[in-house]
């Protein structure tokens, strides 16, 4: 079993749709959690951090459930420009190790 | 300001040759990370540096892989006696501190071993 697991998709949605991605992690010592975005043949870039209290940035909402070791990302009112691969990242500060999920691919269509 | 840079951007080599990949982190960033990404796969964590120190090298795939960082800045990842399975994109990232939220990635080095 992988340390960080994501549904690979692909998710194909129309513009304006709401889409949710899930991620589970196995290392209970993990302290920090993030969503990164990676466009085709480009490097990953931070989308947002994930907090237990939930956090929102415009159309994006991230949520963390430590008890269930589960992370989610919700995208509302999808835009064509949201098409990318979304990577769930779990960080063990003590070990200095970032573990990336394999990513979920989103394609938003007109 | 300048981001993370990596060189070369592409490297084609023959099986059995040694290669050296270079990463220039953002100035002032103390933490540096190496990953590799095979086609269609996620990122595989290789090693991190806090300053010039790499406390844990267990993520390196084999003893053919080594990495160093000097002057708290430039890092090199060396692969000896390359094999075809080493073909991947090697990504470097840096962050201000080890526990900092955001890692800034370089564009990667695409390594092809023939």
Contact (CB, 8 A) for A12 and A109: yes
Task: Quote the minimal CA–CA distance from B106 to chain A in Å.
Answer: 7
For residues A5, B55, B112 and B93, what is the CA-based torsion angle, rounded to 10 degrees? Answer: 70
- pLDDT, tens digit, 9 for 90 and up, residues B59-92: 999 999 999 999 889 999 999 999 999 999 999 9
Q: Tell which of A3, A29, A39, A43 to mutate to test the B interface (max B CBs under 10 Å).
A: A43
Q: Give the containing element (helix H, strand E) for A68.
A: none
Rounded average pLDDT per 10-residue block, chain A, 110 residues: 88 96 89 92 92 90 93 97 95 83 94
Decide if B63 touches A, using CB distance below 8 A. Answer: no
Residues in chain A, overall count: 110
Predicted pLDDT at B101: 67
CA gap A8, B69 in Å, rounded: 35
Task: Return the SS3 of A34.
Answer: strand
- pLDDT, tens digit, 9 for 90 and up, residues B2-45: 899 999 999 999 999 999 999 999 999 999 999 999 987 889 99
The 8-class DSSP code of residue B86 comes to G
Could you give the C-alpha distances from A6 to A3, A34, A71, A110, B60, in angstroms and in order? 10, 13, 10, 25, 23
Predicted pLDDT at B100: 65
């Amino acid at each position: 079993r992988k340390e960080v697991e994501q549904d690979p998709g692909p998710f194909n949605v129309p513009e304006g749709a709401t889409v949710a991605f899930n991620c589970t992690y196995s290392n209970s010592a993990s302290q920090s959690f993030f969503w990164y975005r990676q466009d085709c043949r480009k490097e990953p870039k931070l989308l947002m951090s994930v907090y237990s209290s939930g956090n929102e940035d415009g159309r994006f909402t991230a949520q963390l459930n430590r008890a269930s070791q589960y992370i989610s990302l919700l995208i509302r009112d999808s835009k064509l420009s949201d098409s990318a691969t979304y990577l769930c990242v779990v960080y063990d500060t003590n070990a200095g190790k970032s573990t990336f999920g394999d990513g979920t691919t989103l394609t938003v269509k007109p | 300001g300048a981001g993370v840079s990596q060189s070369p951007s592409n490297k084609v080599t023959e099986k059995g040759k040694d290669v050296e990949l270079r990463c220039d982190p953002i100035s002032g960033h103390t933490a540096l990370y190496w990953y590799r990404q095979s086609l269609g796969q996620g990122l595989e964590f290789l090693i991190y540096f806090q300053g010039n120190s790499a406390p844990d090298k267990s993520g390196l795939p084999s003893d053919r892989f080594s990495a160093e960082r000097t002057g708290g800045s430039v890092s090199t990842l060396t692969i000896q006696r390359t094999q075809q399975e080493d073909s991947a994109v090697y990504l470097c990232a840096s962050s201000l501190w080890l526990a900092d939220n955001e890692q800034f990635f370089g564009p990667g080095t695409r390594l092809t071993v023939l």
